[in-house]
Structure 1
Amino acid sequence: MFRGFATISYYADDLAAAREWYTELLGVEPYFAFPEPPAPPAYLEFRIGDDQDELGLIDRRYAPPGASNAAGGAVTFWHVDDLAGTVERLLAMGATEYEPVTPRSAGFVTASVVDPFGNVIGVMHNPHYLEMVEARATTSA
């Protein structure tokens, strides 16, 4: 049934500013824009991480009816190697704390922030994620 994370979409009132912010955060340019330049984009997409997961930025004009600008709801957590450093960088870039660094159990630690565009970004240290990356590397070797 569910095969894995495919794309997460964040909405922004100012897509040009969101593009700059996420390009700086991720260290890569979006690989896809629609419509294509020179038209101003309504959608941008980045591929990031070990599995080249897709992060889409959508002009908020195209949000579903009734969608709120308020942060909250479901949170997607991205595994990061340096949780404290990542949270520090996000805050320095203008994000605001949503949930502080919180130790869970069995080595899991989470935190989340709200980006300057109102989207919640979850980050975590996830031992299971690391086990799966290691298992794939061992299997493909």
Structure 2
Amino acid sequence: MFHGLSTVTLYAPDLDEAGRWYTEALGVAPYYVTPAYIEFHVGPMKFELGFIKAAYAGSPLAKTPAPVDGSPSGAVANWHVDDVAAERERLIGLGATPHDDVVERGEGAGYVTASVIDPFGNIIGLIHNPHWATIHAGQPS
């Protein structure tokens, strides 16, 4: 039985640089740091966002598939935000590259998505999900 998202793991060639960029993007510092891996707690549920040093891609130590051709890759985890367009622009201002435009989904249902590519080649999905917002209303972020 699935109990919920635990950890999303991506790659970065320079973990120090990824740590700095994501500390600013997420507004929190990594809570776990090693020379080969860093990890952040994100949001009220403290979901884990981890980065493996790209030099370990394909290694049995990585325990996650490596990008094959250098194009943007990784699991697309959609992170709930209050304003998708504003967050997309903020991340672009921090050095992310546009990926998918802002799209309203479900004809007035309130679902909005977009994505950017972080400076390390990973796709960051953004979503405003009314269901998520309802479940987590009033909880600290």
Unaligned runs of 5+ in 1: 35-40
Return the alpha-carbon distance in structure 1 between the equivalents of residues 73 and 37 of structure 2: 22
Q: 1:53-106 CA distances to partner (integer Å, 9 max, x unpaired)?
A: 111011012223672232146411000012121111111111111100011011
**2:124 matches 1:121:** yes
Q: Percent identity?
A: 51
**TM-score for the superposition, normalised by structure 1:** 0.85
Higher helix share: 1
Q: Aligned partner of 2:80: which letter?
A: H
Return the alpha-carbon distance in structure 2 between the equivalents of residues 23 and 57 of structure 1: 12
Counterparts of residues 19-98 of structure 1 (less than 5 Å) = 19-34=19-34, 41-64=35-58, 67-68=66-67, 69-72=70-73, 74-98=75-99
**Structure with bigger gyration radius:** 1
Tell me the secondary structure at the aligned position of residue 8 of structure 2: strand
- Runs (4 or more) in structure 1 with deviation over 6 Å come to none
Q: Relative to 1, partners in 2 of residues 1:43 and 1:96: Cα closer, same or farther, differing over 3 Å?
A: same
Displacement of 1:2:
1.4
CA contact (8 A) 2:8 2:75 kept: no
**2:15 matches 1:15:** yes
**TM-score for the superposition, normalised by structure 2:** 0.85
Unaligned runs of 5+ in 2: 60-64
CA RMSD of aligned residues (A): 1.7
Tell me the secondary structure at the aligned position of residue 84 of structure 1: helix
Tell me the secondary structure at the aligned position of residue 135 of structure 2: helix
- The count of residues paired between Structure 1 and Structure 2 equals 130
